[in-house]
Amino acid sequence: ARSGSLLEAEQLTVGYGAAPVLRDVGLTVAQGSITAVLGANGAGKTTLLRTLSGLLRPTAGRVVLDGQDLRGVKVEQMVRRGVAHVPEGRGVVTELTVDENLRLGGLWRHDRADAKRALDEVYELFEPLARRRRFPGHQLSGGERQMLALGRALVGRPRLLLLDEPSLGLAPRVTAQIMGLLRTLRDRTGLTVLLVEQNVRSALSVADTGIVMSLGRVVANADAATLRDDEDMRHAYLGF
Ligand code: ATP
């Protein structure tokens, strides 16, 4: 493994049935970086995230976290290795309160004292959640649910956060808030983030690096500013 890289994927081929959805996908994610995964609907972004978090198994290639091959590591062990996946649609348990949802994120942890500290930090970070501790999930707005899903992941103190479309359905102001928060977390704690986004502008505004996917392949991998300024790239793949 190259020094400074937390996650590497090598020549991944992944599919749900006969035809592969990802073909020969490779990437390197630096420790403490924010990477935007971009590309049109159906490009394979969600499939990539699900493969990196262990939900899907590649038929070829491998994923390496901290120099360790993840082949054979069970999904439920991934969280203990510091990988948190916040799927599209968020997965908030709507019957449970905000507080209960957040505590779910730390149930597996042996260090109870630190789980409590992490919970308090999430409340500090997400003031709307602190005000709604006892509210059931179904009474939250879309933005609050997104914060809750993110907060629940953070209670587990992940090293790598895999976020699928956090801005989906959110007002621009809330999206900007969440993007700003990712920066804060990275700066404060060295968190590494992989962010799938349809909202290319906001993703590139927060990311250091961008990976552009098309039809299951990586067609560009460059720093965010380079992608932003590349007119051909923008027209061909990024739609702005
Ligand atoms: P979107 O932004 O629409 O989620 P995406 O870039 O995340 O797009 P994926 O969701 O990874 O793309 O889908 C890539 C391809 O895999 C698509 O052609 C899709 O139809 C197919 N696919 C996704 N999930 C499944 C599944 N569970 N079973 C079969 N095919 C699937």
Q: What is the 3-state secondary structure (H, E, C) of the chain?
A: CCCCEEEEEEEEEEECCCCEEEEEEEEEEECCCEEEEECCCCCCHHHHHHHHCCCCCCCEEEEEECCEECCCCCHHHHCCCCEEEECCCCCCCCCCEHHHHHHHCCCCCCCHHHHHHHHHHHHHHCHHHHHCCCCEHHHCCHHHHHHHHHHHHHHCCCCEEEEECCCCCCCHHHHHHHHHHHHHHHHHHCCEEEEECCCHHHHHHHCCEEEEEECCEEEEEEEHHHHHHCHHHHHHHHCC
Dist. CA 197–CA 176, nearest whole Å: 13
Dist. CA 45–CA 166, nearest whole Å: 13
Angle at alpha carbon of residue 86, lines to 76 and 220, rounded to 5°? 110
Dist. CA 46–CA 79, nearest whole Å: 18
- The alpha carbon of 22 and the centre of ligand 1 are apart by a number of angstroms equal to 10
Length of the chain: 240
Q: What are 121-171's pLDDT values in tens digits?
A: 999 989 999 999 999 999 999 889 989 999 999 999 999 999 999 988 888
Task: Please report where in the chains the tokens 């290639």 appear, as a residue.
Answer: 61
Question: Can you give the pLDDT at residue 240?
Answer: 77
Asked if residue 146 has its Cβ within 6 Å of ligand 1, the reply is no
- The alpha carbon of 192 and the centre of ligand 1 are apart by a number of angstroms equal to 24
Kindly tell me if the per-residue pLDDT of 33 is higher than 60.
Answer: yes
The ligand 1 atom nearest the CA atom of 46: 7
Question: Can you give the pLDDT at residue 3?
Answer: 55
- The alpha carbon of 53 and the centre of ligand 1 are apart by a number of angstroms equal to 16
Q: Which of 12, 21, 238 to mutate to test the pocket of ligand 1 (most atoms within 8 A of CB)?
A: 21
Q: Which residue type sits at 156?
A: G
Minimum CA distance residue for ligand 1 atom 1: 41
Across the strands, what pairs with 27?
9
Asked if residue 44 has its Cβ within 6 Å of ligand 1, the reply is yes
Q: What are 79-95's pLDDT values in tens digits?
A: 999 999 999 866 789 89
Q: Which residue type sits at 8?
A: E
Q: Which residue type sits at 112?
A: R
Q: Which of 45, 56, 167, 214 to mutate to test the pocket of ligand 1 (most atoms within 8 A of CB)?
A: 45
Asked if residue 47 has its Cβ within 6 Å of ligand 1, the reply is yes
Question: Can you give the pLDDT at residue 169?
Answer: 81
Distance of CA 81 to the CA centre of its chain: 15
- The alpha carbon of 168 and the centre of ligand 1 are apart by a number of angstroms equal to 16
Question: Can you give the pLDDT at residue 218?
Answer: 96
Q: Which of 12, 25, 46, 165 to mutate to test the pocket of ligand 1 (most atoms within 8 A of CB)?
A: 46
Question: Can you give the pLDDT at residue 2?
Answer: 47
Q: CA-CA distances (angstroms) from residue 227 to 33, 150, 168?
A: 16, 27, 22
Question: Can you give the pLDDT at residue 137?
Answer: 93
